[in-house]
Amino acid sequence: TTHLHKVLMWRQVVEAGFDILSIDANFVMEHNPMPMLLELRSRKGVPMDVVAVHDGPNNKLLNVGLMWIRATQETRGLVARVENRTRAGWDQYILNEELNFNQEFRQVGCCHTPCIMSCFKHVSEVGLSAALSGEKAAGGGNCSSPKPRAAL
């Protein structure tokens, strides 16, 4: 049921007018991806609304474990539909199906870019102990600092 709670959170956040950067625990952030995500445009120059990576080299499904959603009227409808359908299915497959085949969401600017991975590493690449300690994302010994991370 965790996928249902995740999609419920997507809907609530997008309905509140906030963009979402959804990151599963098996990814470690090494750089701030937001400047790149906000600049991405389609071939027609339209801002992207949904950006993700493919779920493996031989799988063309968008991986919802590393995905950004811009809060727009279209994406509000998309995540509401995905939330409704996820009660009986896999969130990743349903999101991909809605983006690719539901004509109601044909205006949603989408989709895959390998560039997002320049800001993240998979836990298997950095090692579990480094990922758990936050050293890669926070930088060195910042995790032991008494200052809040936002102040570092």
Break the chain into its structural domains and give their ranges: 2-124
Q: What are the residue ranges of helices labelled H in the chain?
A: 2-15, 34-39, 73-86, 91-101, 123-126, 128-133, 135-138
**Is the distance from CB of 63 to CB of 92 less than 8 angstroms?**
yes
**At 68, is the secondary structure helix, strand, or coil?**
strand
Q: pTM of the entire structure?
A: 0.78
Contacts of 88 (CB under 8 A, 6+ apart): none
List average pLDDT for each run of 10 residues in the chain, which is 152 residues long.
86 97 90 89 84 84 93 96 92 94 91 84 71 50 43 37
Q: For the segment 16-40, what is each residue's pLDDT rounded down to a tens digit?
A: 999 999 999 889 899 999 998 888 8
Q: Bridge-partner residues for 65, per DSSP?
A: none
